[in-house]
Chains A and B, each alone.
Chain A
Amino acid sequence: MKGHRDNRTYVEDLERHGDLVRIKQEVDWDLEAGAIVRRVCELKAPAPLMERIKDYPGFRYLGAPIATYRRLAICMGMDPRSSVPDLAEEYLRRTTTEPIPPVVVDKKDAPCKQNILLGDEVDLCKLPAPLVHDGDGGRYIGTWHAVITESFEEGTVNWGLYRLMLYDSKLMAAAVFPFSDLGKAFLQRYEPQGRPMPFAAVIGPPPLAAVAASAPSPIPEPEFTGQLMGEPIELVKCETNDLLVPAHSEVVIEGVILPNVRLEEGPFGEYTGYRTSPRDKRLAFLVKAITFRDDAIVTISNMGVPTDEGQLLRSFSLGLELEKLLRSQGLPVTGVYMPPESTHHMMIVGVKPTYSNIATQIANLAFGSKLGPWFHMVVVVDDTIDIYNWDEVFHALCTRCHPVRGIRVYEHAVGTALYPFLNAHERKYAKGAQVLFDCTWPLDWDPLNEVPRLVSFRTVYPKEIQEKVLANWEAYGFPSE
Chain B
Amino acid sequence: MNVWEVFINDLSELREDEDLELSIRTLNPGIYKYTYKKVRARVSTSPEKYPDKLHVRFGRGQPHDHVYSIQVLEELNVIPEEYL
A interface residues (Cβ-Cβ under 8 A, vs B) = 30, 55-56, 125-126, 131, 133-139, 166-169, 171, 196, 256, 258, 260-261, 263-264, 267, 275-276, 278-279, 284, 286
Contact = CB atoms under 8 A, between A and B. Distances in A.
A275 B7 CA distance: 14
B61 A275 contact: yes
B33 A286 contact: no
B78 A261 contact: yes
A136 B63 CA distance: 11
A126 B33 CA distance: 12
Contact of B78 (A136, A171, A276): A171
Interface of B: 7, 9, 23, 25, 30-37, 57, 59-63, 78-80, 83
B34 A263 contact: no
A264 B39 CA distance: 13
B32 A167 contact: no
List the 8 shortest-distance A-B pairs measured between CB atoms, nearest first: A135-B61, A125-B31, A168-B35, A275-B60, A264-B23, A267-B61, A167-B36, A139-B34
B79 A138 contact: no
Contacts of A126: 31
Given A261-B80, A279-B7, A286-B79, A267 B60 contact: yes
Contacts of A169: 32, 35
A422 to B, nearest CB: 14
Contacts of A279: 7, 9, 59
**Main secondary structure on B side of the interface with A:** loop
A258 B83 contact: yes
Contacts of A256: 83
B7 A284 contact: no
A196 B83 contact: yes
Contacts of A133: 61
A126 B30 CA distance: 11
A258, A263, A279 interface centre (most CB from chain B within 10 Å): A279
B59 A267 contact: yes
Nearest to A166: B35
A260 B83 CA distance: 12
A167 B35 contact: yes
A56 B31 CA distance: 9
A135 B30 contact: no
Contacts of B35: 125, 138-139, 166-169
Contacts of B60: 135, 267, 275-276
Given A136-B61, A171-B78, 10 more contacts: A126-B31, A166-B34, A166-B35, A168-B35, A168-B36, A258-B79, A258-B83, A261-B78, A263-B36, A264-B36
* Among B30, B61, B63, B80: residue with most chain A CB under 10 A: B61
Contact of A134 (B30, B61, B79): B61
